[in-house]
Amino acid sequence: MTLAAFEANSSTYAPPSSGAGLRLHDRSDEELDGLSFGVICLARDGVIRRYNLAEARFARLDRAQVLGRHFFQEIAPCTATPGFQGKVDAFLAAGSRSSERFEYVFHFRFGAQLVDVELVSSANPDEIYICINRRKSSPLSEDVPSEILAAAQSDLAPNETELGVLRDEDGRRRVRLSPIVFEALAHALDDEHWATVCDGWGFSWGRLATVDIETEVILSLDSLLRDLPMSTAVDTVVRYLRREGWGQLTVDFAPARQGLMVLELERNALAEALGAATAPRCHLLSGFFRAIFSHLAGRRVQVGEVSCRTQGADRCTFAVAGARRADQLAAALAEASGDMAVLLASMGRAR
């Protein structure tokens, strides 16, 4: 993959390749977190310097507990072999400026993962980037010695619950956040700032959530989101929002004739926290959906909230259109003032 392709697809899944062009060294942590394959930066001595979100998700480890530790000894003893560490050491010793690819099997306590590994040189000669593309997951074989299994989160930070640290079943840290936080934020921002801040915040959240959803699909279905039928791909988003407590999302494809996909979110946690309003207030979710569906589409899409529970509607309704129709969607939203029939008619006339 060329650098240009990498930049163009930085929010979408693509297997690493042609490492010389990647220049991962120049990429920010935010950019690496937008990738759906694992990226680890190791110092020459094997200490982990960078560890992206996808790798943390696949390995069920908290990045905060991984950075600064020795990869081969503390995090992934299953890689302390001539077939992995030996290749890394040889790559660094040779001062290679190209890349090298090989296949490997990671052994975690929760199962095995068949992966493609690509070693990529860094601008810093004392470090190396390792790109890891999951191909298949399977149950752990009984004959794998326990001492070579990769670390579990509980190994890295034992007894952390006594310090008020909560984690989910995948080792991710959780914070129980009351929706009154959103109410408090709304009080702190005027309407203009609320819209701008929440839309941008929601978009960033959606980009990171796509990594979460994508990794789940790879592990559970051995597929990529982009290869699933639209109904199955959308179901992953529905499940994500339900699991996180945001409410029940339904997706209506019928308005495709008017160039739209319509999303309805029942019992929206955000809207219920915000109270009454005269205009739609769920910019956070509009931004989230924009990121999620842009990732799915492999192109930019536009999202606008048609009507909102804060306005007295029984649910929040969002319209999704291709970016080419963004202006039409904005005009139709303004004309409709919450009336879906008017919105559809307006979009239909603009075809």
Of residues 85 and 258, the one with the C-beta less far from another protein: 258
Contact by Cβ (8 Å): 66, 93? no
Looking at the Cβ atoms of 193 and 324, the one nearer to another protein is 324
CB of 284 to another protein, least distance (A): 22
Exposure string for 273-291, b = 16+ CB within 10 A, e = fewer: bbeebeebbbbbbbbbbbb
Cβ closest to another protein, residue 72 vs residue 288: 288
Please report how close the Cβ of residue 137 comes to another protein at its closest, in angstroms.
Answer: 22
CB of 240 to another protein, least distance (A): 15
Element (H, E) at 207: helix 191-221
22 versus 260: smaller Cβ distance to another protein: 260
Q: How far is CA 31 from CA 8, 25, 53, 58, 182, in A?
A: 12, 11, 10, 18, 27
**H helix or E strand, kind and range, residue 51:** strand 48-51
Residue 351 CB, shortest distance to another protein, in Å, is 6
* CA Rg value for the chain: 23
Comparison of 55 and 214: residue with beta carbon closer to another protein: 214
Which CB, 76 or 225, lies closer to another protein? 225
Minimum CB separation of residue 255 from another protein in Å reads 9
**Pairwise CA distance, residues 231 & 311, whole Å:** 30
Interface contacts to another protein, rule CB under 8 A? 225-231, 233, 253, 256-257, 259-261, 293, 296-299, 301, 321-325, 351
Which SS3 state, helix, strand or coil, does residue 221 take? helix
- Min dist CB 8 to another protein, Å, is 14
CA 347 – CA 86 distance, rounded (Å) = 60
